[in-house]
Amino acid sequence: MHHIKTIFIPLFVLLVSAFVLLAFSNKISKDRKLSNPENGYNIYAIEIPEVLDFCGESMPIHTPDIRERIDRELLVNTYWQSNGLLMFKRAKRYFPIIEPILESYGVPNDFKYLALIESGLQNVTSSAGAKGFWQIMKPTGKEYGLEINSNVDERNNLELSTIVACKYLLKAKAEFGNWTLAAASYNAGIRGVSKQLERQAVSSYYDLLLGEETGRYMFRIVALKEIITHPKKYGFNFLEKDLYSVIPTYKVKVDTAVSNFVKFAEKYDLNYKQLKIHNPWLRESFLNNNSRKVYSLEIPIKGYYTKN
C-alpha cells in the first residue's frame, strides 16, 4: 500500500496541473479571440465630421484646437454608453414638449441640446442652486416671472422654464448677434462673455480662451447634437419601443388653496407620487395660494397608470 500511494500522488498532481494549464490555455485563446476586431468589443477612434454647426453657424472644424476639442466630446459621449442610451430615451419623451415652445418664441431647435447638457433632461439641482431641466438660478427665475417659494418652484415646471430660457436667449442673441455666443452666455452670463470678448479683442466664441466649463460648453452641445441625430453612426442601437414615450396628460386649473394633494390626487385615480411626477414644481403636499393664482396641473389621462 505504501508504494501505491507514492506513485498515485505524483500522478494526481500531474493531472491537476495539466487541467489548470488547459484551462489557462483556453482563457488565453478566448482573450485572443476577444482582441480580434472581427469578433469582440473594441475601442475605435471616431471620424470627425467635416461639417458641424450650431443653429446654422459653422464650427471651424479644421482649426487644430477646435478639432481636438470636438473630438474629446464626441469620444466622451460616445463611449459613455449607458448615459448615451438614457439621453436617447429621455429625448424621445421630452423633446416633443420643448420643441414647440422654442419654435413659438423663434428660438432655433438646436437649443434643445443645451437643455440636454445642462441637466440630462432631469429636474436636478446643481451645487450652485440652479434647478430644473434648464438649470435656472433663483434670481434669474424671479427676474423672468417664475414663482419660487416654500410651496412652489416653477423652475421645475418644464413648460414655464423653457419659456424663461427662450426669453433669456433672445435677449442674449440681441446682445451678441449670433446664437453661438448667446448659448455660451447661458453658461457664463451675458456680462461674462461680453467682458471676455472685449478683453481678448475677438468676436467669436471659437477664438476665446475660456475656463474649463464654458470652454467645453459649445463643443458638448454640438457633439450631442451630432450623436443624437446619427445614433447608428456612433454605435447606439435601439428600437422605438426601447425609448420613453410622452405620457398623455390634460390640464386641470386650480385657483384655490389645496389642503391635501394626497386626497386631491385620488379624485383623478392617482396617488401622490404620480401627481408629483407630472407636477414636480409642487414642493409640498399642500398649496397655500393666498393670492388665488391660477395654476395648471398636469394630470395623466384616466387609466394610464392602471392599464395592463
> Average pLDDT, stretch 49-74?
97
Q: Please report the pLDDT score of residue 25 as a whole number.
A: 43
Q: What is the reported pLDDT for 39?
A: 56
Question: What is the predicted pLDDT for the residue at 278?
Answer: 97
What pLDDT, on a 0 to 100 scale, did the predictor assign at position 12? 42
Query: Check: CATH 1.10.530.10 for 53-242?
Result: yes
Per residue in 172-231, pLDDT (tens digit) is 999 999 999 999 999 999 999 999 999 999 999 999 999 999 999 999 999 999 999 999
Count of CA atoms in the C-beta half-sphere (13 A) of 303 = 2
Grid cell, residue 220, equals: 458638448
2-11, 42-51, 261-270, 282-291: least confidently modelled range: 2-11
Average confidence (pLDDT) over 5-22: 42
Is 31 a residue whose pLDDT tops 70? no
Domain ranges of the chain: 53-242, 249-300
Q: What is the mean pLDDT of residues 45-57?
A: 96
Looking at per-residue pLDDT, the higher value among 30 and 88 belongs to 88
pLDDT at site 81 = 93
Q: Which of 275, 277, 246 is nearest to 95 (CA)?
A: 246
Please state, rounded to an integer, the average pLDDT across all residues of the chain: 89
Helix, strand and coil content of the chain, in percent to the nearest 5, comes to 55, 10, 35
pLDDT class of 307 with cuts at 50, 70, 90: low
> Does residue 6 surpass a pLDDT of 50?
no
pLDDT value of position 41:
72
pLDDT-derived band of residue 306, with 50, 70 and 90 as boundaries? confident
Is the predicted pLDDT of residue 308 greater than 80, yes or no?
no
Angle subtended at Cα 78 by Cα 75 and Cα 81, rounded to the nearest 5 degrees: 135
Distance CA 139, CA 130 (A): 10
Which of 228, 227, 218, 201 shows the shortest CA–CA distance to 59? 218
Q: Is the pLDDT higher at 29 or at 165?
A: 165
DSSP string, 276-306: HHH-TTB-SSSB--TT---EEEEEEPTTTTT
pLDDT band at 302 (very low <50, low <70, confident <90, very high): confident
| pLDDT per residue as tens digits for the range 135-179 | 999 999 999 999 999 999 999 999 999 999 999 999 999 999 999
Return the pLDDT at 38: 56
Q: What's the average model confidence in pLDDT over 281-297? A: 96
- How many residues are present in the chain? 308
